[in-house]
């Protein structure tokens, strides 16, 4: 592989995570709910992992609940909060550019009689504070807004939601999908003013199949699954200790946000500098976007054609969210982009392990594609 630049889809596991996952598989394979020695050792590891993830989020250990990943955490947060609070109101406020796990959850709730307001976004993909204020009323029981968009990197104004909810007197629980922002921005729940916060392991160089939901003390959620008493009955089922251990190790290995942000900003700027000489390339991400994600359109070359061209050269990028599986981006559509931009869009996404050489490899290939693919049409 010449260049892996699809880190918003998933990140390569770090050495610490791989070692911890293997250690849990071979040494701590007991059931954490069992009362014998193997179970007690696994339970001690589980407790340590919960503390590690809590420390990375910026909350108390008993506010962290392990799930199978970001999708389940988002479903649990949204459906669980709506059902727990349905006697207090019926309105849910979210945006038109949320992850599919949020959008599909709210659509399911609409079918059950809830009113869902999908806030529009501007050309930068951002929700306005004014529209938030108009949408939130005393019947609002849930507001769900992502921290950073997974396709274009737009950072949403999460911190203003609490102020609006308090001013209006709404009984709203506030949820933030922080999957793309965790480890990249400061997403401490107290700082953001949120009650629920979703994070995922495989976006921070941990294993797939595990995530977590922060639930502020006192916040009520209805479980989606029923069974044993694991995760305080909020998410029953035997805890997947190997991947939880890998998740915790990846969280422990996260460098300070400012350090990673400074490095990745340099990587992003190298890409943007190289793109400036390409007149047929449009930047779709806003200037103040999370620097880990750059969305561009290369006019005249369909996304699928470009992806195949780059893949043949060992370069991995995407045309948008991995969950969309090739469908045209509703995020770019909501931002007001036209068909020519949407059908030629590419998402380039970085991690703290991305090298400048990978960026140069991509730039060289993009230049080659512009000369080769356009001429051959």
**CA angle, residues 167, 150, 172, in degrees to nearest 5:** 20
Of the residues 49, 176, 316, 323, only one is catalytic, namely 323
Rounded CA-CA distance 346/363 in Å is: 13
Please give the average per-residue pLDDT across 77-81, as a whole number: 98
- The DSSP 8-state label assigned to residue 185 in this structure reads B
Delineate the domains of the chain, giving CATH numbers in brackets.
3-12+256-375 (3.90.1150.10)
pLDDT digits (tens, 9 = 90+) for 262-320: 999 999 999 999 999 899 999 999 999 999 999 999 999 999 999 999 999 999 999 87
pLDDT tens digit sequence for 4-57: 999 999 999 999 999 999 999 999 999 999 999 999 999 999 999 999 999 999
For the chain, the farthest-separated pair of C-alpha atoms sits apart, in whole angstroms, at 70
Rounded CA separation 125/91 (Å): 23
SS (H, E, C) 214-248: EECCCCCCCCCCCCCCHHHHCCCCCCCHHHHHHHH
Residue 70 has a CB neighbour count (10 Å cut-off) of 28
Residues 154, 289 contacting (CB under 8 angstroms): yes
pLDDT of residue 324: 53
pLDDT, tens digit (0-9, with 9 covering 90-100), for 127-181: 999 999 999 999 999 999 999 999 999 999 999 999 999 999 999 999 999 999 9
- The pTM score is 0.96
**What pLDDT, on a 0 to 100 scale, did the predictor assign at position 327?**
73
Distance CA 157, CA 332 (A): 19
Q: Residues 296, 303: contact at Cβ < 8 Å?
A: no
Name the nearest CA neighbour of 130 among 120, 140, 141: 120
Length of the chain: 377
The DSSP string of 127-163 is --HHHHHHH--TTEEEEE--SB-TTT-PBP-GGGHHH
In a 13 Å sphere around the CA of 141, the CA atoms on its Cβ side amount to: 23
What is the per-residue pLDDT for 328? 82
Q: Please check whether residue 214 is in contact with residue 189, taking contact to mean a CB–CB distance below 8 angstroms.
A: yes
Mean pLDDT of the chain: 95
Statement: residue 257 has pLDDT above 80: yes
pLDDT at 323: 56
Check residue 1 and give its pLDDT. 80
For the segment 91-118, what is each residue's pLDDT rounded down to a tens digit?
999 999 999 999 999 999 999 999 999 9
Query: Which pLDDT score, from 0 to 100, does residue 110 have?
Result: 97
**Does the active-site annotation cover 316?**
no
């Amino acid at each position: 592989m010449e260049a892996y630049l699809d880190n918003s889809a998933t990140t390569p596991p770090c050495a610490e995570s791989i070692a911890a996952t293997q250690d849990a598989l071979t040494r701590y394979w007991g059931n954490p709910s069992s009362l014998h020695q193997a179970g007690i050792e696994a339970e001690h590891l589980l407790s340590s992992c919960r503390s590690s993830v809590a420390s990375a989020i910026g909350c108390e250990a008993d506010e962290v609940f392990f799930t199978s990943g970001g999708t389940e955490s988002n479903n649990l947060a949204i459906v669980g909060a709506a059902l727990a609070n349905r006697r207090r109101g019926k309105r849910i406020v979210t945006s038109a550019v949320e992850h599919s796990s949020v959008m599909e959850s709210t659509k399911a709730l609409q079918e059950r009689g809830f009113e869902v307001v999908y806030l529009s976004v501007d050309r930068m993909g951002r929700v306005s504070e004014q529209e938030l204020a108009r949408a939130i009323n005393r019947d609002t029981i849930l507001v769900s807004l992502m921290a950073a968009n997974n396709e274009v990197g737009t950072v949403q104004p999460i911190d203003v939601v609490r102020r609006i909810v308090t001013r209006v007197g709404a009984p709203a629980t506030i949820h933030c999908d922080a999957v793309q922002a965790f480890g990249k921005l400061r997403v401490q729940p107290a700082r953001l003013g949120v009650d629920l916060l979703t994070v995922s392991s495989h976006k921070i160089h941990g294993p797939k199949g595990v995530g977590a939901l922060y639930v502020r003390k006192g916040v009520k959620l209805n479980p989606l699954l029923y069974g044993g008493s694991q995760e305080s009955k909020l998410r029953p089922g035997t805890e997947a200790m190997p991947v939880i251990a890998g998740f915790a190790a990846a969280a422990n290995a996260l460098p300070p946000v400012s350090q990673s942000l400074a490095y990745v900003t340099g990587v992003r700027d190298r890409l943007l500098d190289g793109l400036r000489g390409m007149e047929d390339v449009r930047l779709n991400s806003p200037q103040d976007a999370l620097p880990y994600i750059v969305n561009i359109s290369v006019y005249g070359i369909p996304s699928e054609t470009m992806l195949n061209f780059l893949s043949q050269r060992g370069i991995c990028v995407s045309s948008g969210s991995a969950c969309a599986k090739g469908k045209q981006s509703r995020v770019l559509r909501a931002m007001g982009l036209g068909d020519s931009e949407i059908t030629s869009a590419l998402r380039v996404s970085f991690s703290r392990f991305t090298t400048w050489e990978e960026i140069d490899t991509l730039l060289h290939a993009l230049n080659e594609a512009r000369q080769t693919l356009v001429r051959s049409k």
